[in-house]
Structures are given as C-alpha cells and as structure tokens.
Amino acid sequence: MALRWVVFLLFVGRTGAVGNGQTLTVSERCMQDTNTFLWEINKDEPKEYAVLMYDAFGKLGSNVVGGNSNQPGLLQQCRSAHGPSFSGQYCQLSFLLQQGKVQYFVGICVPDSCEKDDVQTLFNQMSLIPPLPSILVNQSTQEIIMAHCLSNKIAPDTSDITCLSVYDYTLFTFFTVLTTCALPLVLLVKQRQENHCFIGPWLYLRITCFCLFLTQVRMLCYGSNSSHSIHPTQTCSPQSRVYGCLQAFSIQNSSWGVYNTPTSIPVGGYASLNGIRVLSLLWIMCGHSAQFPVINSLDNYKNWRKTVESSPLYVPTISGPVFLAVDTFLLLGGLLSARSLLGSINKDEDKLSLSLVGNYLLKRITRIQPLHLFIMCLTIGLISLVKWGPYWFPFIDTVMDCKTYWWANLLLISNLLPVHEICIPWTWYLSLDFQCYATTPLLVYFYRLNKSVFMIVAAVLLLMTTVTSAVITAHLHLPVFQPSTMTSENYVLYYYVKPHTRYGPFLIGILTGIYLTTKKNPLLKQWAALGWFCCLSLLAVLVGLAYILKETPSNPSMPHALYQGLHRPLWALAVTWIILACEEGYGGFIKRFLSLTFWVPLSNISFACYLIHPVFIILYIGLQETPIHYTDINFMYLFFGHLVLTLAVSYVLTVLVEKPYLLLK
C-alpha cells in the first residue's frame, strides 16, 4: 500500500485530470500538506497522526453481495489526527459502477487544507481506492461522481444564525416564560379586580410552582372528562386583550387542550376518528423509521429488500402499497373540513359569504403554519450546529433546499415544486392538505345550490383524479410496489405529492362529512354485515394486488395503471365505511377500540408528532459512524425509540407553540 502512495505522489504531482478533458490545479497548501502526509506514512516508523489518518480510510467489508458496498471509514479518528501544519479532514468519494448502476461511497482522510474540488481532482485518475472485486460486480467499471467533505468546524451562515437567534431562541424563550407565568398573572389580575388586594412576589412564586405541578397531576389523575376543575370561578369576564393572551399562553390552558376530549371530538360523535388518526400516524412513523435508514446507511440493503418483498406482514415498514395512511389523513381532513364549514354556515344565518370563506381559510392557515414554520426554522438551525457523521450527506440537500425554497413552505405550495427542491421534504403533505382544503367551499357551494349539480361535479373530479393517476402511471411506467417506488424518481416527482393524483381520498372525505352532517335517517341494519364484509375484503385485495404487481413494468401496463388510479380512492372508501359503521352503532369491538379515551391526547399532539419525528430519525442516522444492520428486532427498537422521543417532544411543542395560537381569539 505504501508503494501505491509513492506512485500516486509521482504521477499526480500538482495537477489532476478530470473526465471531461480539463486540467484542474490542486491548491498549493493542499498539495504541500498531502505530500507531508504521504512521505510520513511511507516511513518505517511513521508518526501517530499519519497512522490515524491512514487507518481512518474506508475499507471493504463483508456481505458486499447483500448490499454492504459503502466504506465509511472512521470520521472521529480522522478528526483526531493533528499533523505539523494541518489536521485530518473527513471526506467522501461517491462512485458509480457503470454497468451495474450501483452507487457507493468511500470515506477518506485528507489534510483540512484541501477543499472538495482538490480531493476529487487528486483522486479522479490516480485513485488510491481499489475497485470492488469484479466477481461481485459483474466486471463493472467505477467512476467518481462527486466528493463531499465535512468541515471540522461549525460555521453557521447568516440564515442559520438568523433562524437560531431571531426565531427559535426568541419564540421558545417567549413561550416558556409566558406559559410559566401566565396562569399566576391571570389569578393576580382576577383577584385584584375582585378584591382589590395586593399579591406579594413570594406568593406569586408559590402560585407558579403550584400551578405547574397541579396542572399535570390533574390531567393525569382525573382524565379529560372529569368534573373536577382547577379553573378559578368565573365571577367576572375581563375583556382585555392582555388577559386573553395570558390565558392562551397558560400551561394549564394549553395542557387542558391536549387532554380535553371535546377538542378532538366534535359535538355529535366522531369518537372513532381519534383512534384512526393515531394508528395512521404510527403507520407513517413506522414507515419512515424503515425508509430513512435504507436510503444509504444499511450494510445489508439487498437482504432487507428481499425480506420485505416476500410477505404482506411488512406493509407497515415499506412494503406493498405503503403509506396508504396518508390517504387516511386526507380522508379525515376532507370529512372535518366539510363539517367545519357547514357548522360555520349554520352559525352565520345559513349564508356562505366571501368573508366566511376567507375566515375559514385563515383559520386553517393559523392552525398549521405556526408549528410548521417553527419546525422548519428549528431544523435549519439544528442542522447547522450538529457535527454530523458519514451518513449525513444524503440529507444535505434538505438544508440547501430550505435556504432557497423556504418561501414555498410559507405559501403552502411546496408540493408543486420538484421533489428534490422541497424544504423539509415531509412537509409536502401540509401544502397538499391546504390546497385540497381550499376546494371545500366550492363544493359546499354546489351542494347548497343544487344537489344534482354537486353530485355531477364530485363525480367528474373523482374521475379526473383517477384517470390522471392511471395515465401518468402508464406513460412513465411507474411501479406500484414498495420498495421499487423508492428507486423511481418519476414516482415521487410526478405522482406521489401532486394534488391532481391525490385528491380522491379528500373528495370522498368531503362527501362523507356532508353526509354525516346532513343525514336524517340512520343506516339500515341489514347493510351492516355486507358493509363490513366488503370493507375487509377490499383492504385485503388492495394489499394482495400490490404483491401480484410488484414487478416494475418496462412498457405501459394496464393492470399497473388501473391499480394506481383506483387503489387510493378504494382505500378511502373502505375507511369511510369503518367511520360510518362506528357512528351508526355497528362497529362493535372495533368502535370501542377506536373510541378509547387513551387516543385523545395522542390525537391532539399528532400534528406535532408528524412534523418532528423525521428530525429525530435524521439525527440518529446522521450521527452514525458505522452502518446500520437490518434485523426485525433492530428496526423494532429503532421505531419505539423514535416514538418515545417524538411523543415527549411533541407534547412540549403542542403546549408551547401549537395550542397557544389556537387559544388566541
């Protein structure tokens, strides 16, 4: 190996050739430090820094056939090496096998005076990294496609500093102070107004501590439906805005909003929605916990793929027609949006005015944007401060996209951008949800105008979204089965996040909401058994067909197109039946399970859970220095670990950020 270094030094010199015929010059400082390192490592007794740098290089491991082609090396060991005029800097070279179309990376340790362009130039032609054995890669040739380097120093740019100092720090401090002090201040204001007496600072401090303790004890011990209350008796009704703001930012009031059942269950029922929402969220979290690691950090990816493709039992963890839980969320969104708008119309003297529609949309924006933008800014700031590991590079674009396309998240149109330009990629759903939400007033208008016209419009919209999905699938030869969809760029780019392909479940939700709000006659009992049979059969067929159609078509495929166009609306119809049966009293043990009060607080923090859980997954993967090994037990522990952290932090975010905005009047 030492001889290879000498050959590299003699042949490369101060320049390096790149594939397109241009000659790029390596910086003088980088070349000098590289020479120092190379001569040192070739000595009979090299210094410790040179041994550490050399040993930190990535090396080929076992199970290349199973997918262990990445060679991450040792990042921290590289950074611990300190030479006479430089320190070790960890870089990655990404390679592409020309024939097999397999991409892998190799970690290297170079002097910190070298930029990534210097590294790619040095290694482009005279690489010190041997190719993968030809017996394992079918005689493919390798080519360097890019180089990345992780700086040894944390250097936030202007946008990072702005996010951290102006938004996160200010808001978090503001919310923390207010939520701690608000309730005692409310009591102080009320007592002064009623008794005109003075409350001293020591009593104020005792009230503060007592309120923090009593709030949590009351919620946990008495539950959400208890008649016990710690609210002071309302003998007067102060109207000042300051008083209202203090109440909104009170920990007691915002915690009450998390535990209190009426905030999640509208008057008249829908208790089953809490269980459906939480189970759908857990499905999404389970899928993300499996999806993110397999992008680039498994040492047995091929083994994982073979396992999940073999059984429908792996549907919750990236297998089959995965992420149908998103369509369940769209269905619930459509149902509740229709019910909310119809309720507002009834309160406004049965009029659907422009001001009512504007207020309806504004409430939706204030419902989702405060926490959405807080998480976006928190993520940008957090990413700029963490010293990441070798598996961080696939997520770098997330930061770059946020600094360029943050405005799309602000305007709730991020899903209309190419998927690789979406800031905080999992927030595409919020944009889709709001776009669908904005169509509810128009459909309700047609419903109130003429029910026949309404049914025609709804049928045309459902047909259009179904046909559009089928045509796109046939034209682009899209797969319908995970994990094949993960490797299909067109699947996400043109199908998965677009409103014209995902509108069907939301439309069915609007129809369901209108029906439940305006129905006069109960569902006939004789239809209950048939409904459950059709519902469960349809769910089984949708999962089974995905396994039959698991092969990615090389030509336009009618079965794939029909499945892609129909399976999401059909899934929504099946879930709709579950909701209807539970509300009509035909749900049996399923209704009792979905209506447990246990789901209520989890449902109330579900929005924060959805936004924050990918941050924990990315943190975990990005800080790893060695690959993750797939086994069912390992992935189970990953999921439950992410779940516990998500629930704890989501509760805090809901109490400090989300609920105060909802309680402001």
Per-residue pLDDT reduced to its tens digit, 294-313: 877 888 888 888 888 888 88
- The answer to whether 60 touches 71, Cβ cutoff 8 Å, is yes
Task: List, in order, residues 6 or more apart from 562 with CB less than 8 Å away.
Answer: 470
Tell me if 107 is assigned to some domain: yes
pLDDT of residue 96: 76
Is pLDDT of 359 > 90?
A: yes
Higher-pLDDT residue of 570 and 420 is: 570
In angstroms, how far is CA 116 from the centroid of its own chain? 30
Q: Helix (H) and strand (E) counts for the chain?
A: 28, 5
Task: Give the span between the Cα atoms of 438 and 357, in whole angstroms.
Answer: 9
- Of 124-138, 181-195, 428-442, the least confident: 181-195
pLDDT of residue 445: 95
Boundary-marking domain end, from 149, 174, 207: 149
Name residue, tokens 């919310």. Answer: 175
Q: CB atoms < 10 A from the CB of 238, how many?
A: 15
Rounded to the nearest 10 degrees, what angle do helices 324-347 and 428-437 cross at? Answer: 40
pLDDT of residue 522: 76
64: containing domain: 28-149
CA atoms within 13 A on the CB side of 588: 5
Encode pLDDT of 47-57 as tens digits.
999 999 999 99
Helix, strand, coil percentages, rounded to 5, for the chain: 65, 5, 25
pLDDT of residue 505: 97
Higher-pLDDT residue of 408 and 103 is: 408
pLDDT of residue 7: 37
pLDDT of residue 253: 72
Encode pLDDT of 106-140 as tens digits.
899 999 998 888 888 877 655 566 666 666 666 56
What mean pLDDT do residues 188-207 have? 47
Tell me if 646 is assigned to some domain: yes
How wide is the angle at C-alpha 27 spanned by C-alphas 22 and 30, nearest 5°? Answer: 125
- The answer to whether 372 touches 427, Cβ cutoff 8 Å, is yes
Task: Give the span between the Cα atoms of 548 and 72, in whole angstroms.
Answer: 37
How wide is the angle at C-alpha 657 spanned by C-alphas 176 and 292, nearest 5°? Answer: 115
Total domains in the fold of the chain: 2
Long-range contacts of 436-440 (CB under 8 A, 24+ apart): 436/330, 436/333, 436/334, 436/499, 436/502, 436/503, 436/506, 437/333, 437/337, 437/361, 437/364, 438/361, 439/503, 439/506, 439/510, 440/334, 440/337, 440/338, 440/341, 440/510
Tell me if 221 is assigned to some domain: no
Tell me if 20 is assigned to some domain: no
Which tokens belong to 3?
A: 């001889």
Tell me if 467 is assigned to some domain: yes
Coil vs helix vs strand at 17: strand
Is pLDDT of 248 > 70?
A: no
What mean pLDDT do residues 497-502 have? 94
What mean pLDDT do residues 310-317 have? 85
Task: Give the span between the Cα atoms of 653 and 309, in whole angstroms.
Answer: 37
- Of 43-52, 139-148, 473-482, the least confident: 139-148
pLDDT of residue 151: 78
Tell me if 615 is assigned to some domain: yes
Boundary-marking domain end, from 97, 114, 149: 149
Task: Give the span between the Cα atoms of 326 and 607, in whole angstroms.
Answer: 13
Which tokens belong to 121?
A: 């130039």
Q: How many residues does the chain have?
A: 665
Task: List, in order, residues 6 or more apart from 449 with CB less than 8 Å away.
Answer: none
pLDDT of residue 587: 87
**% the chain with pLDDT above 70:** 75
Which tokens belong to 538?
A: 């349809």
Task: Give the span between the Cα atoms of 94 and 60, in whole angstroms.
Answer: 14
Task: Give the span between the Cα atoms of 437 and 608, in whole angstroms.
Answer: 19
Coil vs helix vs strand at 15: strand
Encode pLDDT of 255-305 as tens digits.
777 777 544 444 446 889 999 999 999 999 999 998 888 877 888 888 888
pLDDT band at 428 (very low <50, low <70, confident <90, very high): very high
Task: Give the span between the Cα atoms of 437 and 431, in whole angstroms.
Answer: 10
DSSP bridge partners of 82: 87
Question: For the purposes of burial, counting CB atoms within 10 Å of the CB of 471, is it exposed (0-12), middle (13-18) or buried (19 or more)?
Answer: middle
Which tokens belong to 206?
A: 């005792």
Closest CA to 498 of 442, 437, 446, 432: 432
Coil vs helix vs strand at 455: helix
**% the chain with pLDDT above 90:** 39
Encode pLDDT of 558-606 as tens digits.
999 999 999 999 999 999 999 999 988 888 899 999 999 899 999 999 9
- Of 486-490, 561-565, 635-639, the least confident: 486-490
Strands (DSSP E) along 127-210, which ranges? 142-150
Closest CA to 516 of 452, 599, 584: 584
Boundary-marking domain end, from 149, 174, 192: 149
Which tokens belong to 365?
A: 């924006």
Question: For the purposes of burial, counting CB atoms within 10 Å of the CB of 548, is it exposed (0-12), middle (13-18) or buried (19 or more)?
Answer: exposed
pLDDT of residue 650: 94
Which tokens belong to 53?
A: 């740098």
Is pLDDT of 609 > 80?
A: yes
Higher-pLDDT residue of 526 and 28 is: 28
- The answer to whether 88 touches 81, Cβ cutoff 8 Å, is yes
Task: List, in order, residues 6 or more apart from 452 with CB less than 8 Å away.
Answer: none
Tell me if 307 is assigned to some domain: yes
Task: Give the torsion through C-alpha atoms of 634, 640, 641, 643, to 10 deg.
Answer: 140
Encode pLDDT of 517-549 as tens digits.
888 777 777 788 899 999 999 999 999 998 899
Tell me if 43 is assigned to some domain: yes
* Residue type for position 448: R
Coil vs helix vs strand at 201: helix
Name residue, tokens 């422009």. Answer: 354
Encode pLDDT of 384-411 as tens digits.
777 788 887 766 766 667 778 888 999 9
Sheet holding 102-111, edge to edge: 102-111, 88-97, 142-150
Name residue, tokens 């590299």. Answer: 8
Instruction: Print burial letters for 37-54: b (CB count within 10 Å at least 16), e (below 16).
Output: bbebbeeeebeebbebbb
